[in-house]
Amino acid sequence: MKRITTIFFSFTISTLAIAQNVDEKKDSISIATSPVDSLVLKDTVKTELVSLPSNLEFIPADETPELIADRLSCLQQTIPLTYNSKVHAFIDYFSVRDRDYTRMVLRRKDLYFPLFEKKLKQYNLPDELKYLSIIESGLNPRAISIARAVGLWQFMSGTGRYLGLRNDWYTDDRMDPEKATDAACQYLTQLYSIFHDWPLALAAYNSGPGTVRWAIRRSGYKKSFWEVYPFLPRETRSYVPQFIAIIYSVNYAAEHNIFEEAREEILPHDTLSVNQFLHFDTFAKLTGTCVEDLQLLNPHIRKNAIPDDGKLRVIKVPKVAKENFSVNRKMILDSAARGKKELEALAKAVNDFTYGRDRDVYYVRNGDALGTIAQRFGVSIRNLKEWNNLRGNLIRIGQCLIIWVPSIKPGRQIVPTTSYVSPKDSKTYTVQPGDTLWDISKKLPGITIEKIRSLNNLKSSHLQPGQKLIVG
C-alpha cells in the first residue's frame, strides 16, 4: 500500500512538471508587450530619392476616330484624305511610336517647303503634294534607298535620265533640290494625266504606272485607289495611307504634344557661275568658308569638285565667300583648279572604272549575255560584274544592271555599237511612263504591235521611259 501511494505521488509530481513545462513553452511564443513607438525603431527599410529620366514625355490618349476624320476633312483640299483603320495605324506610328521622326520633319520642312510650294504652284499642282517628299526621303536631298533611288523625290537612274536629271561621277542632279523638284512636278503631271485620280497617281509614283495598270485590270477595272488596294504590291498599299497620315501628323503635331523649337534654315547665299574645274576644299580655304557649308548648299556635287567638261554650272556659295571671291576672283579660280590632277589620280586609284562616266541602267532581254551587253556599251565583263556584284555570268530576263557608260562631251559624236540603223525619214515615238506596245499601237493609226517589234528589232515587250521607237 505504501508502495502504491509512493508511485501515485511520483506520477502526480511528474504530471505537474509536464504541465508546468507546457505552460512555459506557451509563454515563450507569446508576443512581448512593448510601447507602440518602439515599432518605428525596428523599421529597417532604407528610403532613397530616385530621379526619373528627363526624356519622359506626356503622350496624349488616342483621339477618337470621329475627331481624326473631322480634322482630316478640315485639311482636305484637292487630294482626298480618306480616314480608315489603315490610315489610323500610320497616324499612330507618326504621333506615338516614332515621334522623333515627326520632330525631324518639323525641323526640316522650312528648308524645302517654300521651294516645293513655289514649283507646285508653277505647275498648277495640288499644294498637298509637298508632303510626298517626307514619305520618300524624310526631306534629305542625299537620301539613297536600298533600290538605289536617290534624292528628295527618290528617282531611279532611268526615270531621272528620262526627266532630264544628269547622273555622273561628279554630279547627280537627283540630289539637286530645284532640278529634282521640277522633275517630280513633271512626272506627277504625267501620272495624273494617265489615271485622272490623285491617289492612283501617287501609287504609280511609288511602283510605276505599269504596276498600277496591272492592278486595275485585276480588280475588274475599278477606278479608285481603295478599290484597287488589294491588288497592289504591299509597299504601294501602304504608300497612300502614309501620305495621308504624315499630312495629319505635321499639321496636328501640337495636339499630340509634339513640339520642335529648332528649325533648320538655308544659309544666306549667292550664286556663282563656273565653267572650269573647281575644288571645294581649296575654294573654301581661300574664301574664308567651310566645305560643309558648300556641301549643304550643293548636295548634288558628289566629289566636292566641279568637273571641267565645258559646261557652265551654277553653284551656291555663302554670301561671305562670294564677297571674298569678288576681290580675288582670278587668283582663287586658278588655285581652286589645281586640285584636278590629285582628284583624278585618287579616282583612278579606286579602280572602280566609274570616273568620267555616266551612270545608266539596262534591263536584261531575252537572248542577252554579259558579253554582248558589255560589247554594246563599250565596257568590260569584269566591270559589269563589279558594278552589279555578280559572282558568275548568269543573268535573268528583266534583271536591272547598272552600267557606267562613257560621258558624252560637247561636240563629240557617239557611233552606235549595234548593227541596226534606222531609216533617215522614219517617224519616231518617245516612250512615256506606263506605255506598253499595245498602248502605242492604239495611239498611232496604222501601226501594229508586230510592226513596232519589226521596225525596232525588239526581242521582248519591255520598254523604258524615254526610249525612241521607230513607228513609220
- pLDDT number for residue 46: 62
Rounded Cα distance, 366 and 373, in Å: 12
- pLDDT number for residue 401: 85
Q: Is the pLDDT of residue 366 over 60?
A: yes
Q: Running DSSP on this structure, what letter comes out for residue 310?
A: S
Q: Is the pLDDT of residue 425 over 50?
A: no
Highest mean pLDDT pick, 4-8, 43-47, 179-183, 353-357: 179-183
Residue range 155-172: mean pLDDT, rounded? 87
> For residue 224, what pLDDT band results from cuts at 50, 70 and 90?
very high
Tell which wins on pLDDT, 167 or 344: 167
pTM recorded for the entire structure: 0.69
Residue range 46-54: mean pLDDT, rounded? 60
Tell which wins on pLDDT, 61 or 133: 133
Q: Which residues pair with 176 in a beta bridge?
A: none
Q: Mean pLDDT in the chain?
A: 81
Which residue is listed with cell 503622350? 59
Lowest mean pLDDT among 44-53, 386-395, 433-442, 453-462: 44-53
Q: Closest Cα partner for 182 from 244, 139, 120, 100?
A: 120
Q: Closest Cα partner for 214 from 449, 455, 446, 436?
A: 436
Tell which wins on pLDDT, 230 or 420: 230
Q: Which pLDDT tens digit goes with each residue over 430-463?
A: 877 667 777 787 777 777 777 787 777 776 667 7
Percent of all residues in the chain with a pLDDT value above 70, rounded to a whole number: 78
Q: Which pLDDT tens digit goes with each residue over 265-279?
A: 888 999 998 888 888
- pLDDT number for residue 411: 41
The grid coordinates listed for 241 are 495611307
- pLDDT number for residue 347: 57
Q: Is the pLDDT of residue 291 over 50?
A: yes
How many CA atoms, within 13 angstroms, populate the side-chain half-sphere of residue 404? 18
> For residue 115, what pLDDT band results from cuts at 50, 70 and 90?
very high
Residue range 5-17: mean pLDDT, rounded? 50
Tell which wins on pLDDT, 46 or 375: 375
Q: Is the pLDDT of residue 132 over 70?
A: yes
Q: Is the pLDDT of residue 400 over 90?
A: no
> For residue 49, what pLDDT band results from cuts at 50, 70 and 90?
low
Q: Closest Cα partner for 102 from 138, 76, 78, 129?
A: 138
Sign of CA dihedral 160, 163, 169, 171: negative
125: Cβ contacts below 8 Å, ≥ 6 apart: 185, 188, 189
Q: Could you tell me how many residues make up the chain? A: 472
